[in-house]
Amino acid sequence: MSSIPAAISRQHTGSAAHSVLSPVYERRLIRIAYGIEHHPDERPRDRDVNVRLDSLLGRYAHVEKISDNEYWNHRQRVIFDIQQTTDKSVFRRWLATPDLHVIYCGHARHGRGGCFGRLEETDKHTEDWGEGTRPDTTGLFRLGFPYIGIDVAEIEEHGYRAHLLKESEGVPDAEDCHPELRRFRGSLQPRTPDELHPGLANRLRGHQPGDRYMAFRMGAAWRVVHHAGWQNTLSAPHDWGATDVQCRVFCHFGCSTFLHNHPIVRRIAQWRRQGNERYAYWHIDPAWGNLTTSRWVANLVTYNVENAFASWEASLNQAVDRTNRDIRAAGHSYRVI
């Protein structure tokens, strides 16, 4: 029989409230949004959140599984409510909901932001890599610098329609460029689509005969400049700027998101830490988001210090340390910061 506490309450942070019979439990809501290439049915089993948690239950007698969506930690006095989605609109709604711990696990799209869709292994050519086959639920949730330089072959590889910077728009300001593009501003050259990649014109939004596009060489490959951004984007309202972000924790577990997206969130959009609110975590270097997510959630759920109705900082700090340890143990060099 479940050892159910006598009372459950969502008191304000720092409350020492108790029921008549026992201390009350705090309910913490973890919400996981899976993007392209990392949605649930593509994960190796050891990177599934529930599989990882279930494998640990015997080692943590104070953690009790109620269902795949609910785990009770009797030492923390915290109930963890876990829900998962592959729907971009649900992700956006979660970002705008107070108190939630929101995780994005998926492709970083070279800095453009989260990207949603359910790909079949036999068909990786889809507009879901761009604006989405169903823009309300799939495609990009933009969270990038206004301009990003990306290998031109990537457009053909994924088969979406790209919105590239035209010669007529001029050279973008340095502060609007992704840090990697900023180094090549002086090397930008206008090129026709055929000079960049055979058949590229058919993959471009708003292309007119005679249009040329700003590009630069990195090694032997041409890179083209994409309109990206985080506010007033082609994907609006599915971008950071059009979303009233109210969640308590935001984890962006895509590749190199500290480089790509941290400056947007923390410096440019000024979504900054405030007391027990607005925590944010990122990956340094290319990463396996599904490995990180499964370990991150397990390390939060199994934290063995009482902290109900207290600051989340201590448990989050330990999640960083233990998740980075787990990543190293799995043979990878990237880390969470």
- The arithmetic mean of pLDDT across residues 306-323, rounded, is 98
Quick one: pLDDT at residue 2? 45
Quick one: pLDDT at residue 16? 38
Quick one: pLDDT at residue 19? 41
- The arithmetic mean of pLDDT across residues 246-268, rounded, is 98
| Chain-centre distance for alpha carbon 262 | 11
203-218: burial string, b at 16+ Cβ within 10 Å, e else: bbeebeeebbbbbbee
> The whole model's pTM is what?
0.92
**What is the per-residue pLDDT across 73-115, written as a single tens digit (0 to 9) for each?**
999 999 999 999 999 999 999 999 999 999 999 999 999 999 9
CB-CB contact of 121 with 112 (8 Å): no
Task: Specify the pairing of strand 63-67 against strand 70-73.
Answer: antiparallel
Number of H helices, E strands in the chain: 9, 14
**What is the per-residue pLDDT across 284-313, written as a single tens digit (0 to 9) for each?**
999 999 999 999 999 999 999 999 999 999
Residue 46 clears pLDDT 80, i.e. is over it:
no
- Name 151's bridge partners: 223
Pairwise CA distance, residues 171 & 131, whole Å: 24
**What is the per-residue pLDDT across 159-214, written as a single tens digit (0 to 9) for each?**
999 999 999 999 999 999 999 999 999 999 999 999 999 999 999 999 999 999 99
In sequence order, what are the residues at sequence separation of 6 or more whose Cβ sits closer than 8 angstroms to the Cβ of residue 198? none
CB-CB contact of 180 with 174 (8 Å): no
241: closest CA among 252, 251, 253, 228? 228
Query: Furthest-apart CA pair in the chain: how many Å?
Result: 77
